[in-house]
A = this chain, B = another copy of it.
């Protein structure tokens, strides 16, 4: 399976299992997560770039992949993605570089996932 589909399938399978546990707090966190990234005073597109930048400085590969997937769906350009990557690596430091590598690889995967 290609890396994008593998990521999305595992994510969906585990989300289903987590929500099946019926823990009210977790359900509400998942619900908030969906609502928070919708169009508002800040456009959804910009919010996904925030999500990407925050995921990078907090150094979470799965979160980087998820937001890259959303950025791809929303049509962000390579130049925009690279500027987000650059800012995140400047703010978060060289400790973020391994996530820049994985993020760059996954962005290519997304573009090749036809």
Contact = CB atoms under 8 A, between A and B. Distances in A.
Interface in A91-106: 91-98, 100-101, 104-105
Interface string A81-96: 0111111111111111
Interface in A47-91: 47, 49-51, 53-55, 57-63, 77-80, 82-91
Interface residues of A, number: 62
Closest 8 CB pairs between A and B? A93-B93, A41-B79, A62-B98, A25-B86, A14-B101, A23-B82, A92-B93, A42-B83
Contacts of A11: 101
Contacts of A51: 87, 91
